[in-house]
């Protein structure tokens, strides 16, 4: 009896441990299953049928051996509507994040930490320009953008939260009340503003050259920032553009500031603001190169020309590019598309690719597309061509997740918005007698979302 009692206790402890282990394993399996279900519930539909209200006829979407979606439809409207649906089911979080960036609305997602970025982008006015450009689109092109938006919204109508993308489950931990808005053509066009911004090449150089000009001679600045060597590397375009100046004094009296330390403060403010804006095309979007070239059919074995296009954008996950095929079931004047190539999620059509007859590509050549203007401001006015003009003022409100809204006041001149002195949040007023206004690239909306169609 003395031996059986300890043995019995050991058996009970072992059974208890086994029971606890079984419970832990069961909970782990349930948690793993819940995790897998949470992740997979937002995966795209790859087989079967999906009801898409608004289609004129059935459209087909299939994935080729490389997993690239191929979309076939009877009408152009159906083609772009199906593309919008496919983009949304594959990458809507990316699309939603991009439109918040371009509209200066990141604070609605991530709270107070993004107010400074939103203030700067609202000051640049990307979204406002996009809305103006949408109003100028011809009816056919606008119809493509709207069909695409209808496809995106058809997906959103049947999916919520984590069903749309896993990122919304993570966002819900910080911002539980957020729900995505319907997609609009302006959401698509606004992405072109971000592309133009990230592919600008000279703004940082403009600031650096202006700062150096306060202490160095023009010849010394030119040694550090040499002009393009047209004599040894001529372009195929006739004529030579004038050498760009670092900062233009918008009024005669403003030239005095170029030789003083008064210029340093607004330029430092601008440099800080630039650093706060996300690099939307990847961490090296502003510094790396790009190339393209063509070989005539006279120099190929097949007798056909070869186009090589290598647009170097920074690495991001997912990629900036989205590969897709778009084809009208019967190529005609009413439905002219037979395309394959790369586009952007959030945009209808294809940006770089080919149809049945031609191929096309794009290369960013580092153009001088940004100018800085040193304005002479007195009170609520600034000097323009020797006369006093009132500053252009607009007021906006930034909605902040988890906090009070922030009101900002944006000042502009004939040259563009004043981009110095933003102070990271709201613009309290003109802090300098010589603030900096920026003339920045505003990429126009394309005449059509996909360059050449079929013929």
**pLDDT reported for residue 454:** 45
Q: Please tell me the CATH superfamily of domain 46-199+315-366, with its number.
A: Penicillin Amidohydrolase, domain 1 (1.10.439.10)
CATH for the stretch 203-228+240-280+371-439: 2.30.120.10
- Alpha-carbon distance of 146 to 342, in angstroms, equals 20
**pLDDT reported for residue 39:** 61
**pLDDT reported for residue 197:** 82
- Alpha-carbon distance of 160 to 348, in angstroms, equals 23
**pLDDT reported for residue 69:** 96
**pLDDT reported for residue 4:** 65
Q: Which two tokens stand for residue 301?
A: 């074995």
* Residue 230 and residue 357 in contact, taking contact as beta carbons nearer than 8 Å: no
* pTM of the model as a whole: 0.81
**pLDDT reported for residue 426:** 39
Q: What is the chain's pLDDT, residue by residue, as a tens digit (455 residues)?
A: 455 666 676 677 777 777 777 777 776 776 666 565 556 556 777 778 888 899 999 999 999 999 999 999 999 999 999 999 999 999 999 999 999 999 999 999 999 999 988 998 999 899 999 999 999 999 999 999 999 999 999 999 999 888 888 888 888 888 888 999 999 999 999 999 888 887 776 777 878 887 887 788 888 988 988 887 878 877 776 655 544 444 544 443 334 444 445 566 677 777 777 776 777 666 655 556 778 889 999 999 999 999 999 888 777 888 889 999 999 999 999 999 999 999 999 999 999 999 999 999 988 776 777 888 888 888 888 888 889 999 889 899 999 998 999 999 998 888 888 887 765 433 444 545 677 777 765 533 444 444 444 44
Ordered by start, the domain boundaries in the chain are 46-199+315-366, 203-228+240-280+371-439
Q: What are phi and psi of 315, to 5 degrees?
A: -75, 130
Cβ within 8 Å of residue 173, ≥6 positions away: none
């Amino acid at each position: 009896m003395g031996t059986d009692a300890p043995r019995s206790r050991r058996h009970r402890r072992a059974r208890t441990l086994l029971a606890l282990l079984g419970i832990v394993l069961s909970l782990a399996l349930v948690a793993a299953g819940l995790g897998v279900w949470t992740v997979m519930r937002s995966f795209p539909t790859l087989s079967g049928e999906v009801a898409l209200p608004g289609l004129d006829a059935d459209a087909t979407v299939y994935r080729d051996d490389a997993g690239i979606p191929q979309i076939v439809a009877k009408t152009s409207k159906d083609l772009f509507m199906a593309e919008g649906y496919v983009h949304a089911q594959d990458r809507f979080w990316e699309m939603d994040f991009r439109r918040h960036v371009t509209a200066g609305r990141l604070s609605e997602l991530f709270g107070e930490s993004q107010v400074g970025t939103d203030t700067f982008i609202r000051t640049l006015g990307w979204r406002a320009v996009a809305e103006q450009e949408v109003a100028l689109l011809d009816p056919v092109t606008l119809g493509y953008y709207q069909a695409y938006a209808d496809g995106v919204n058809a997906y959103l109508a049947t999916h919520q939260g984590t069903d749309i993308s896993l990122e919304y489950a993570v966002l819900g931990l910080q911002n539980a009340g957020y729900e995505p808005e319907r997609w609009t053509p302006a959401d698509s066009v606004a992405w072109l503003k971000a592309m133009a911004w990230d592919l600008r090449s000279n703004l940082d150089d403009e600031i650096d050259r202006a700062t150096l000009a306060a202490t160095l001679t023009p010849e010394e600045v030119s040694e550090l920032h040499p002009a393009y060597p047209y004599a040894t590397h001529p372009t195929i375009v006739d004529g030579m553009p004038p050498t760009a100046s670092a900062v233009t004094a918008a009024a005669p009296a403003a030239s005095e500031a170029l030789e003083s330390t008064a210029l340093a403060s607004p330029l430092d403010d601008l440099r800080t603001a630039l650093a706060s804006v996300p690099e939307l095309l990847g961490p090296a979007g502003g510094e790396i190169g790009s190339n393209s070239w063509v070989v005539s059919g006279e120099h190929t074995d097949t007798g056909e020309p070869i186009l090589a296009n290598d647009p170097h954008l920074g690495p991001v996950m997912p990629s900036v590019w989205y590969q897709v095929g778009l084809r009208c079931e019967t190529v005609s004047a009413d439905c002219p598309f037979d395309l394959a190539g790369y586009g952007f999620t959030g945009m209808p059509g294809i940006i770089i690719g080919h149809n049945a007859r031609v191929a096309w590509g794009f290369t960013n050549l580092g153009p001088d597309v940004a100018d800085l203007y040193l304005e002479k401001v007195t009170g609520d006015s600034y000097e323009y061509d020797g006369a006093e003009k009132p500053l252009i003022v607009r007021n906006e409100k930034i909605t902040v997740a988890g906090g009070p809204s922030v009101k900002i006041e944006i000042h502009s001149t004939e040259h563009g918005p004043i981009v110095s002195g933003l102070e990271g949040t709201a613009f309290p007023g003109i802090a300098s007698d010589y603030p900096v206004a920026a003339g920045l690239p505003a990429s126009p909306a394309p005449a059509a979302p996909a360059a050449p169609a079929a013929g």
